[in-house]
Amino acid sequence: MQKTLAELAAKINAEIKGDSHCIITGVSTLQSAEKGHLSFLSNAKYRQYLSATKASAVILTKDCVGDCPVNALIVEDPYYAYSQLAKEFIQLKKASPGIHSTAVIGNHCKIDPSASIAAHVVIDDNVIIEAHSQIGSGCVIGEGCHIGKDSHLWANVTLYHGVKLGNQVIVHSGVVIGADGFGIAQHQGKWHKIPQLGAVIIEDDVEIGANTTIDRGAIDNTVIETGVKLDNQIQVGHNVRIGAHTVIAGCAGISGSTHIGKHCMVGGGAGFGGHLKIADHSIVIGMSMVTSSIKEAGIYSSGTGLMKHREWLKNVARFRHLDKIIRQLQGK
C-alpha cells in the first residue's frame, strides 16, 4: 500500500515541509522507522529521537520543525493526526457479505444482505443485524438482540438475550454482554438469586476491549453511552451508566448502579463502589478506590505510590497509630 505525502496531508489538512511526492508505505515509531515510513512526535519525551530518525516523514507541530531532518506534516495535534492516517495502512482482510454455511440462524431474524456472518456463529430467534456489520467466528447472539450498522464483533463474543448495540460498535474477542448482574438477597442464612430483568444498551461508536464483561440491569438497563472506549478485562456491574466519550483503562471494576459522567478518564485497575455518581470530566488515577460520589470535576487519586518494602512497612505501622495520635492532639 502506497500513498504520497500530498495525499496524506490532504486527509488531515496538514502543511507539508519537503517533498510532497514522497512515497509512504507504512507507519512506525521515530526509533524504528525506515525509509518509506511515516512517524509522529506528540510527546516531548521522544523529541530526542527526532534528529536521528530514518522515517521518510514525521507528523509534528510547528515548533518542532527546526529539529526535523526529513519531510514533515505540520499539524496542531500530531497524535490525533496520526490516528487518522494510520487507518490508511490497515491491511485486514475485508469480510465478504453473506452467511457462512456453518452458521446457525434462528427464526424470524432480519439480517441485512450486506452483513457478514462468519463460521460457527449461533444466532437465536428475533435477532436484527443491520447493514455492513460483521459477526466473527464463534459468536453467540441471544434472542431479541439488535446490532446496528457498521458494527464489528470479533471472534467468540457472547451477547445474551435482549442486548442492543448501536452503529459503529467494535466488540473484541471474549467479551460477554448481558450476563446476570450480581444480585442476591440473604434470607435465613442462605443467599437467593434476584432475577435480572433489565438489558444492556450500547450506543453508537463504542469500543469494548477483549474479555470485558458488562452485566444486564436488575430492573432498569445498563447503558454505555455514545463514544465510550473500554479497555480489556473491565467489569461493568448491573445498572451502571457510563456517560458519553468516557474512557476506562484495563482491569477497572465498576459496582452496580454507579453512574460515571461524560468525558471522564479512568486509569487501569481503578475500583468503584456501588450506587455512586461521578461528575462529568472527572479523572480517576489508576489503582484508585472510589468509595464515595465525586460531585465536582477534578483529578482524584487514592492509595500510595511505590516505595521500598521496608519503608512501606514502617509507614503502615505508623498509619495504624494515626487515629490515636490525632485524639491525643485534640485532647480526647
What is the spatial distance between Cα 260 and Cα 267, in angstroms, rounded to a whole number? Answer: 13
For 153, phi then psi, to 5°, come to: -100, 115
Amino acid at 42: S
Task: Identify whether 238 is a catalytic site residue.
Answer: yes
**Which residues contact residue 301 at a Cβ distance below 8 angstroms, ignoring those fewer than 6 apart?**
284, 285, 288
CA distances from 207 to 134, 154, 174, 215, 273 (A): 14, 11, 13, 16, 24
Angle ∠(192,218,287) on CA atoms, nearest 5: 95
- Catalytic, out of 37, 132, 146, 238: 238
Which DSSP string corresponds to 11-24? HHTPEEES-TT-EE
Degrees, nearest 5: CA angle 255-259-263:
120
C-alpha cell at 297: 470535576
Residue 325 parent element (H or E): helix 322-329
What's the start-to-end Cα distance of the chain, in Å?
A: 76
Instruction: Identify whether the C-beta of residue 268 lies closer than 8 Å to the C-beta of residue 231.
Output: yes
**Residue 186: what are its φ and ψ, rounded to 5°?**
-90, 135
Cell numbers for 267, please give them: 486509569
Q: Catalytic positions, please?
A: 238
